[in-house]
Structure 1
Amino acid sequence: MASVGLSGVTKAFGDLVVVRSVDLTVAEGEFMVLVGPSGCGKSTTLRMIAGLEEASSGTIRIGARDVTRLEPRDRNVAMVFQNYALYPHKTVYDNLAFGLRMRGAGKAEIADRVARAAAILRIEPLLARKPRQLSGGQMQRVALGRALVREPDVFLFDEPLSNLDAKMRVHMRDEIARLHREVGTAMIYVTHDQVEAMTLGDRICVMKDGVVQQVGAPLAVYDRPANRFVAGFIGSPEMNFAEGEVAAENGGMVFRSGSLALPLPLPAAGGGARLSPGEKAVIGIRPEHLALSAEGFPARVVHVERMGNESVLVLDAGQPMRAVTGRDDAVRAGETVRLAAPPGRLHLFDRAGEALAVI
């Protein structure tokens, strides 16, 4: 096992900088998820760790070794790709054994490693089959097994579940989490799916435009996003935002955005939030933190998405909003409801999108 450290890692293609000055440490045995929208630089960062892309500047370390300029075969990492990359003419056993044979491993060692990997991944009955005889989930297990037999210092995953249907993705998330618990090796996992990030990662690294926006435990990032981008990207449905300004009214502070008026606690809106009356700001409220309340602000129900155990209210509160409530068959489109968020659930951002306070 080994840790991974990136210091000032940048990747540019000519004048186009796709990854900019990434500093990131992954501890031994940690599961780190790189998450962000398509084109944010997360896969390029992973490929630089693997050695499939050369870093334009910066340093990459695996354990005590500086691997920045080493060839991929010399880094002792194993990578699992989105497209499985199995040899169609070889059996599952031979797909698992191929890399070991290329490294000159003996037959007994190959048989032992393949047997152990197959047992961990529960693919023993598949060893004599060809890839065309496997389902998508089974092929993904074989791809995991091919990485596992190498006994690498670090596992790298590049959106490995994106080709699977929704039900199989959930199942394979469980399998990857179980694999991590059993082998205890550091894993770096790239995805654009924030549900995968939240459910798999010990920590997540949110990226945008090649720049790291925030690194932290999933719930810490969810509860205290560093900026408006992170707040909107993490969470489903995404956070509601309202742009407006702070006003002093009746001896207190109020955030106003059109017809929406939200009281702000004085300590948070004063020194803590660094805002003055008349200053522009943005309020963020997660849909799941809005509740029906006679004391709340009014909103017209545009549409109700009934999900079974809960309902998503599509609202007009002077700006579009969503609220996730418990199952409530009585709420209908066209009605006006009142909503409120409990203390500690309002996120205040400045005009540049940087987080100021949670109030």
Structure 2
Amino acid sequence: MTRLDQLSQRGRDFLGARQAIMAGAMTWVSERHLVSAISNAGGFGVIACGSMTPALLDAEIAATRALTDKPFGVNLITLHPAMMELIGVCARHGVSHIVLAGGLPSGAAIAAIKAAGAKLMCFAPTAALARKLVRSGVDAIIIEGSEAGGHIGPVSLGVLAQEILPVITDVPVFVAGGIGRGAAIAAWLEMGASGVQLGTRFAASAESVAHANFKKAFFRASARDAVASVQIDPRLPVIPVRALKNAGTEAFTAKQREIAEAVDRGAMDLAAGQLAIEHYWAGALRRAVVDGDIENGSLMAGQSVGMVTREQPVAEIIAELVAEADAALHSRASPFESAA
């Protein structure tokens, strides 16, 4: 067994995959083709349910199952109004892993997932919340740093990992945010992570259904082009979104001002304002990913985007990451370990 296999054993066993490499769930991108390709290549694909109806999720799971006999997961947003129905759809299909994102899951949701026999994964932005989730029955934790693309928290993965990995040992912990090379995977595994989650590299892969314009924007971008959105009005707590700078970035700033003014006039309450902002992001992302409007759409990308320079098949990406991780670990092995 290689050093990489030893370090990733817990994560591989948990996922049921050859490699402890998860794919981030990206709305409009993480669908049947990409998810099945990642699982077939030895990684672990995750369907992004987003705002899908139960019927749409039912069809997407069935279509993914037709393309792979390997394990894959489904990412559900905790605030989805049909949350319990979506869990029911996953249960009927025997989905092995469910990832909950977007807030603290309810006790009812956790109980339903556990009753279905699925393994439950949740995001934790702090050590205290990670402990609480584990006590509530969560089977694995994901910690995602601010380097990631899409909706992000305020703290980098380097800090989160130092805070959380030493204290969460009862369950596997997967790390995410800014990971673009296998050497980084090796380092996180050595630090105590059970596996990693990547999104940006897979978003621009050959199997990704994202528009060619969307992928080309990734190939041209550097890390500093992936910027976090700015909150204009503290009354409208907007979760920052990391995306490539374009006209859409400025449009979002203007949209926040427009909504804040509507709240001031009494034409809209705060809850409706926050919902309008989330709807804006969903529409802007679709314009970029599906329609290829890279000027006005949202080009959600992590800071690892500078390491995405060309379109590669998923299998090639995973093989490259594994080879790089193996090489990094081998270079740090003692002469005795190398001889063994």
Query: What TM-score range do you get, normalising by the shorter chain?
Result: under 0.3
| Higher share of residues assigned helix | 2
Q: Which structure is richer in relative contact order (CA contacts within 8 A, separation 6 or more)?
A: 2
Q: Which has the larger radius of gyration?
A: 1
| Higher share of residues assigned strand | 1
**TM-score under structure 2 length normalisation:** 0.27
**TM-score under structure 1 length normalisation:** 0.26
